[in-house]
Amino acid sequence: MKKRTGDPFMAADAYGQSLAPGLGLNLLVRDIAVATQFAKAVLAAELVYADVDFAVLRAHGSEWMLHADHTYLDNPLTGIVRGAETRGAGIELRLYGADPDLVEAQARAHGHVVLAGAMDKPHGLRESMIIDPDGYVWVPSVRATP
């Protein structure tokens, strides 16, 4: 059930048709305000739009959506996320071009869980692993310096 009282930033069908080809992310979250605050403070995301039901964020050339749990009451995913402590288990949300040292420092400063501190990996990237308030694992990554 939607809780928004005003008009969205654009009609849902117009937004859907505006999306570029490629991979899209839509994360179900308990609280839009908490999730957007994490994205802005830790991932340096730009908030494109947010209301109590839905948000659009951009960072480092990527765009993703957030939907509040209460908007998915009739969606098949409802049963999967209900009561789940950690969402997206086994999925890494990789944010290429985001400085892992800076993201790690921001995560620590805001009291978020750092699953793995920044380090150069054998696959040529420097990355860290941060857990957001809903349990999603974010992996900011840049090319490692030789």
- Domain locations in the chain as residue ranges: 12-143
Is the pLDDT at 29 greater than 80? The verdict is: yes
Is the pLDDT at 31 greater than 90? The verdict is: yes
45 in Cβ contact with 59 (< 8 Å): yes
What is the pTM (predicted TM-score) of this model?
A: 0.84
Is the pLDDT at 85 greater than 90? The verdict is: no
> Region 26-40: what's the mean pLDDT?
95
Share of the chain above pLDDT 70, in %: 88
CATH code of the region 12-143: 3.10.180.10
Taking phi over 0 as left and psi of -120 to 50 as alpha, with beta for the rest, 81 belongs to: alpha
Residues 6+ apart with CB under 8 A from 34: 133
